[in-house]
Structure 1
């Protein structure tokens, strides 16, 4: 009996110790989470009047622009929460915090982690962050543009001739489809060289991979978050991506192998393109994502073709609605080329200031995404106004609301193609070189967030800008454009969740320029 009592006392004491340990551990794990939850819950939530989270999510999917504008209007200098299609808590910050946010290291706020979440890479399995790519773009592509511009211009001209033949009478054209092929050829000329840039297999694969990635992302986001771990990877849109990668490897690997063998021969003249630069830099990037150059090329094509084509399509839709301005734009391009012996030099492109302004206005009113500077918070931090931001949330800035702010842009909802041209001229007259520079198409600032902000601003925007300008300039020299019904009402964009894209089902009419 004493032994039983001793055993009972031992067990009760041991269980008491275990229980206390469990409680201490639970407190250490859960109390900070409870504290973070309480802090987050004090941040204002937009659209609470709509009801539960599912109703707010549906409102976001069908009308995100309205929600961002509402939140920005109410909390312009602060923060608010918005319910999106993602599982993470989304906190929207005023652009006034951008100067301090850009100083935070990637270990605290991560762009790559936010992009992974936005693109649903857990299910789509696409590579959104490949170390070798931004390095090659910044170190090789952008510094080479002055040298490559004539090559790019030649490819633009020949691609347009192939895809948009002369037309004496008004002729219908699927402008988006045409631009997809032209942009794929022109981008391909710089990315993979002359061997494949007009190859139909390359064009079909790179174009469809671009569209398939977006289709897979939308398919996943349309699925309720709790269902995604079980069924998202089985979606046909997601499975299609694997097939695209296999197709790309089949035609890209032989070209890469041939280049590597030829490089060992005496007198080998290296092609001036991205494949060459990637091959040269690959030894310095041993990570798995950087080593598969076929997949790297496909990823680069996705980023370039998708964004550039959307911007160019938006521009052509605006051109069709602005016949009077087009004549002014055509005259400027003619003068710029005449001053440079008809060659698209860097000087010629820089002289097209009205076109530059027009394109920046296109991006301002038709941004591809409603929010910018999306970052996943990996470690908690505190804003200058004392607002605590916990780990685990995603932060972003409401770019679409900034673009619609009358206090920043006079008559902000009006499309003014020369808005930034005048701002550049005024800054120049005032002796402000920085002010003039901030109003260029490729510039980023707190009021111009389409290309991002800070050290992770889009590195390929300089190439994209040259490419789009050359496409527009060539097209305007040869052709006139109008809507199929003859109206000057600009075709409205289609908006889904945070995205705004031109209506790809719309057509334009074009014909040869008449003097």
Structure 2
């Protein structure tokens, strides 16, 4: 029995002695249950972790190289089956009744206690259907918010100014996302901003705290775990902040206002969410769970992606000029929109023409993804892969997205089409789109068996189109108004990624220097 569990149990004894006695009995039951529920042994090769490696990436890469066309088990703490590229088409669209993404998320976050993941029933269709349909309509507001957010976070910037990239751009992304998800003025209130940023941390703390206990007893001990209590308190406060919005939405509905179109005002996205929520359960607390669930999925993933793009731009300054020239070109073709303050914005259609910027973003994501594997699924009824291997119920499998995206064996990453796959080529995907028949492929938000960083198939990330435009808006604002360079302390080297197990995150302490241009370079 782990020392973590014993420490947690001792804490529980101190806080709730009677509950601790019940917990002890349930631990015994949990052990018996686990023995009865053990899954069938997998007849697959096993790849062991490399002793001393905090990252599992090397072990994963060795496994993929040794078994390129065969599934194998990566023997981490909770063993996982690695599915080869040739089998992706056979699993990408399996129904939940065969391979469940939801089950993986719900189990990982102990959703029966934390409620994390339950909001997906409402949030996924709102993002996939309503937000994606109105992506073009939100661009004006996002551009306005990007100018406001970056000016606020960077300050005057008349000289080279050190900026802690991840910390600052987490706030920038939270402001842009909040502009769409709840609208002003709430989106700019510091309490709401901090709540949406910290929610991800609190979810992770609650998940990790519960993992110290056997699954069977988590529903019993969960309400007594401090981290879970903190999470519930945060949602309750979020509900209080959202109550005025909910009241206003109900007034709109009473007047017959459907809000099918996007309006840059408070509550639009909230009303979209409510379309997919059981009318009997529409409360401020439910709205808070949904809103914070969207923030959990959107803010930190996007801010990490933005940070990686900025690190790549600062370490490859030769791309600044052609990226700025591309912006100038689309402005020359399409013109600009100006608001009452004289702020010049790109037209909505112009963003789709920024192919070089889109390529640069995708290359950054390819070499610095959020995770080295994707498409986590739990097998819910036995499946037969196209390789002929059978995965029994209960098997956890993933796709080795990073290995596929950096392999010479993957056709589009062959050195014959560009730089070697492990080298940064910011315009790699722009060159691929220039090939006949590929004009509409290889975009940042595109998914395929070669490009898996947003998943692929039925459960591909529903918010990827919003994220793509959000990142573009931020980068356009930076390119038009700011110069960027690596800090002197980095000695010309890109800040190294922080890799733990199969997660890859930007260096959260890294600083990059920015200096404001005297005028928009294109005005």
Alpha-carbon distance, 1:455 to partner:
1.4
Report the counterpart of residue 364 of structure 1 in structure 2: 366
Whether 1:272 and 2:263 are equivalent positions in the alignment is yes
Given that 1:112 and 1:129 are in contact with CA atoms closer than 8 Å, whether structure 2 keeps it comes out as no
Whether 1:497 and 2:506 are equivalent positions in the alignment is no
Report the counterpart of residue 205 of structure 1 in structure 2: 195
Whether 1:295 and 2:289 are equivalent positions in the alignment is yes
Counterpart among 289, 305, 314 of residue 311 in structure 1: 305
| Alpha-carbon distance between aligned partners in 1 of 2:498 and 2:92, rounded to the nearest angstrom | 31
* 1:329-383 Cα shifts (integer Å, max 9, x gaps): 1221232234332333332111111110000011100110111111110000111
Larger Rg: 1
| Alpha-carbon distance between aligned partners in 1 of 2:58 and 2:210, rounded to the nearest angstrom | 23
Report the counterpart of residue 9 of structure 1 in structure 2: none
Report the counterpart of residue 13 of structure 1 in structure 2: none
Report the counterpart of residue 180 of structure 1 in structure 2: 170
Given that 2:363 and 2:424 are in contact with CA atoms closer than 8 Å, whether structure 1 keeps it comes out as yes
Aligned to 2:335, the other structure's residue is in SS state coil
Alpha-carbon distance, 1:85 to partner:
3.9
| Alpha-carbon distance between aligned partners in 2 of 1:188 and 1:272, rounded to the nearest angstrom | 14
Report the counterpart of residue 478 of structure 1 in structure 2: 481
Report the counterpart of residue 21 of structure 1 in structure 2: none
Seen in structure 2, the aligned counterparts of structure 1 residues 323 and 455 have a Cα distance that, compared at 3 Å, is: same
Alpha-carbon distance, 1:217 to partner:
4.3
Report the counterpart of residue 45 of structure 1 in structure 2: 46
What are the equivalent positions in structure 2 for 1:231-242 lying under 5 Å apart? 236-242=226-232
| Alpha-carbon distance between aligned partners in 1 of 2:244 and 2:118, rounded to the nearest angstrom | 25
* 1:168-198 Cα shifts (integer Å, max 9, x gaps): 2111112212211111111111111123111
Given that 1:344 and 1:470 are in contact with CA atoms closer than 8 Å, whether structure 2 keeps it comes out as no
- Give the TM-score, by structure 1 length: 0.82
| Alpha-carbon distance between aligned partners in 2 of 1:93 and 1:393, rounded to the nearest angstrom | 12
| Alpha-carbon distance between aligned partners in 2 of 1:390 and 1:220, rounded to the nearest angstrom | 27
- Give the TM-score, by structure 2 length: 0.81
Alpha-carbon distance, 1:103 to partner:
3.8
Report the counterpart of residue 80 of structure 1 in structure 2: 72
Contiguous gaps of at least 5 residues in structure 2: 1-32, 337-344
| Alpha-carbon distance between aligned partners in 1 of 2:360 and 2:208, rounded to the nearest angstrom | 30
Counterpart among 377, 380, 383 of residue 381 in structure 1: 383
Alpha-carbon distance, 1:133 to partner:
1.4
Report the counterpart of residue 26 of structure 1 in structure 2: none
Alpha-carbon distance, 1:84 to partner:
3.0
Aligned to 1:386, the other structure's residue is in SS state coil
Alpha-carbon distance, 1:202 to partner:
0.7
Seen in structure 2, the aligned counterparts of structure 1 residues 275 and 456 have a Cα distance that, compared at 3 Å, is: farther
Counterpart among 429, 442, 447 of residue 420 in structure 1: 429
Residue correspondences, number: 466
Alpha-carbon distance, 1:63 to partner:
1.4
| Alpha-carbon distance between aligned partners in 1 of 2:316 and 2:424, rounded to the nearest angstrom | 10
Counterpart among 152, 156, 175 of residue 166 in structure 1: 156
| Alpha-carbon distance between aligned partners in 1 of 2:92 and 2:507, rounded to the nearest angstrom | 34
What are the equivalent positions in structure 2 for 1:64-463 lying under 5 Å apart? 64-86=56-78, 89-121=79-111, 124-127=114-117, 129-217=119-207, 229=218, 236-265=226-255, 272=263, 275-279=267-271, 282=274, 285-286=277-278, 292-342=286-336, 343-408=345-410, 409=413, 410=415, 411-425=420-434, 427=435, 430=436, 432=437, 435-463=438-466
* 1:233-287 Cα shifts (integer Å, max 9, x gaps): 7665444322221221121122211332254358998872694355366365428
* 1:133-186 Cα shifts (integer Å, max 9, x gaps): 121112211111222211221121222222222322111112212211111111
Report the more deviating stretch, 272-281 or 292-301. Answer: 272-281
Given that 1:127 and 1:289 are in contact with CA atoms closer than 8 Å, whether structure 2 keeps it comes out as no
| Alpha-carbon distance between aligned partners in 1 of 2:82 and 2:257, rounded to the nearest angstrom | 56
Seen in structure 2, the aligned counterparts of structure 1 residues 226 and 473 have a Cα distance that, compared at 3 Å, is: same
Seen in structure 2, the aligned counterparts of structure 1 residues 205 and 346 have a Cα distance that, compared at 3 Å, is: same
Alignment root-mean-square deviation, CA: 3.0
